[in-house]
Chain A
């Protein structure tokens, strides 16, 4: 009799072994995946051998719809990309149109936009990091910090009347000046939120259980991250200090002083820590922005532009020209100039880009959204390969993949 050494070798080699693997269908609706994501995983016991994502469950054909809409009517489509930080998407779209139209926006508007964008970034990071806590078994932190997302939504409400899908601002500025209540609410947030966030950090960042669950799970090297097109906090967690706010400043970000935090290993823990630090940087940016806005005094909140900015309502009743422009803007009857624009903003989860081709009509000839999580989510099977199923859940929530943006 002969000992079958080849068979023994096969047992330890998962690729050639004939031990049957089980297939696990995770999603599309599953309480542990925050959104509609389906992953078909090939499992060896509790370990993941390989996986494949199925996406497109909430695809809404925004790029096609945008080809029939005038510029203003595209803003609500952008709201629904990364709906956790809609004001960043809105502002990115307005920056794209302003670039095409050649509009010069006043400094004060830039600072107002910076203020709302950083509030949105904080709201987005609060969701991502506190849900990471939930997925590792700590619900308390989530319920505790989540009320500050609510406070930020109250500020949105005071600025534009909406909370989640904001439609904030207009081409060239804002529809109205920030009221004193906006500044009062923001100041209160800057006082109340830091101690709470510090407490949340101390709950998790040196917590043995949390560290065991997150360190070395879902790690990705710098080279692989760049190859997979990572941007935003996920790329910075691998150690690259690339941030569009500093590399190609828009909205006068060059006037602000802030650090770009980076990680080293690109694992789940580093992503968590980078987002935490970004929240502190955003708080500092908001403080600087408020100071700058208040120094300038009230009054200037939009660029002068008859073709895209609605005239004051009193004028519409008295002045024929204002009435005509009002009608043309509301009906979207104004032709945009011919050109091709690419504008990128630092979204909460990466580089959000708008590629707009205008043929001189009222609506874009082609509009393409560069959605950060669509691009980096393809790395997910590689990141969870060889890890436990419970780690896969944590890795996905640390990547901050937002279904609305993924599927557009």
Chain B
């Protein structure tokens, strides 16, 4: 299959979407591009429609929580894929935990529907414009967002598994 290199993707992004791109890095063969939060829909739909990029498949969408980075605590990671050009690309946006609002991309990829619901369910990131944003795997009565780092995995009063017990 004919492929395009990461370098070509990076050049394309800088030439066509330069004002929306905050940073670009490459890890283990995949480009990770941080996109300005207000431009994510525009960038994704541009990459979808463009004839040379053809990122027409959403492989994965998930959240991530960095409690220590101020004003950009919550992130959404988009894995886009072009099956015809056999290339993958990772987009990231970060939002503050006080106002975790990200525009939905369900209008571009139907598969984003449940993935965004899952991200909302576990991280509390609200996807603006989502047709049916409610919890999906956890019960509806739940009030916490369990994948956030402050949510304890086990009983918080126990310390028999704490790091100091193991000399860490």
Q: Which residues of A contact B (CB under 8 A)?
A: 55-56, 59, 61, 63-65, 67-68, 99-100, 224, 226-229, 240, 242, 247-248, 331, 333, 339-342, 344, 351, 353, 355, 357, 362, 366, 368, 370, 374-379, 407-408
Contacts and interface: CB of A to CB of B under 8 A. Distances in A.
Contact of B59 (A99, A331, A370, A376): A370
A378 B111 contact: yes
A321 B32 CA distance: 39
Interface in B133-168: 136-139, 146-147, 151, 153, 166, 168
Interface residues of B, number: 37
Contacts of A355: 60, 62, 77, 79
A229 B111 contact: yes
A355 B62 CA distance: 9
A299 B32 CA distance: 40
B60 A353 contact: yes
Contacts of A224: 110
Contacts of B86: 247-248
A59 B77 CA distance: 22
A375 B59 CA distance: 9
Contacts of B138: 56, 59
B22 interface: no
B56 A226 contact: yes
B79 A61 contact: no
Main secondary structure of the interface of B (DSSP, over half): mixed
B24 interface: no
B59 A65 contact: no
Contact of A341 (B28, B56, B122, B146): B28
Contact of B27 (A228, A247, A331, A339): A339
> A-B pairs with the 5 shortest C-beta distances?
A229-B111, A56-B137, A368-B62, A227-B110, A370-B60
Contacts of A370: 59-60, 79
B126 interface: no
Contacts of A339: 27-28
Interface string B89-132: 01000000000000000000111011100100010000000000
18 contacts: A56-B137, A63-B122, A68-B153, A226-B57, A248-B86, A339-B28, A340-B32, A341-B28, A342-B30, A342-B79, A351-B59, A353-B79, A355-B62, A355-B79, A366-B65, A368-B62, A377-B114, A378-B114
Given A100-B28, A227-B109, A247-B86, 6 more contacts: A56-B139, A61-B146, A67-B153, A229-B57, A355-B60, A408-B137
A155 to B, nearest CB: 32
